[in-house]
Amino acid sequence: AQSVAQPEDQVNVAEGNPLTVKCTYSVSGNPYLFWYVQYPNRGLQFLLKYITGDNLVKGSYGFEAEFNKSQTSFHLKKPSALVSDSALYFCAVRGGSNYQLIWGAGTKLIIKP
């Protein structure tokens, strides 16, 4: 069965420092992987996806994610964090059906000035 894990409930980073939000997955077949962000009292917004091709995927707001097949990971990264990046981040993987995504529990990212 497809599954995704976000091992950290919360990540704290100082403004200007690089940030990483971790995601690991378990799938049968080729993984289709996604990152979403949720700002307070808002719906989720799509950040980026990996389906095939280059292992480094660039997305919105300066975020990127690195697909690592051997480690079954898809970590979200940003070279220099902004206070405005503080939000809840979700990793997702395509489910068994073409129409579903399997979601991680979310990681709260806090960027301190």
Partner 1 sequence: NAGVTQTPKFQVLKTGQSMTLQCAQDMNHNSMYWYRQDPGMGLRLIYYSASEGTTDKGEVPNGYNVSRLNKREFSLRLESAAPSQTSVYFCASALTRQYEQYFGPGTRLTVT
For partner 1, the binding residues (CB under 8 A) are 9, 32, 34, 41-46, 49, 51, 90, 94, 97-101, 103-106
The first and second tokens of residue 103, run together, are 């979601």
CB of 14 or CB of 105, closer to partner 1: 105
Instruction: Say how far apart CA 38 and CA 46 lie, in whole Å.
Output: 9
Question: What is the nearest approach in angstroms of partner 1 to the Cβ of residue 54?
Answer: 18
CB of 26 or CB of 45, closer to partner 1: 45
Tell the burial category of 93 from Cβ atoms under 10 Å away from its Cβ (0-12, 13-18, 19+). Answer: buried
Cβ atoms within 10 A of the Cβ of 65, count? 27
Question: What is the nearest approach in angstroms of partner 1 to the Cβ of residue 16?
Answer: 29
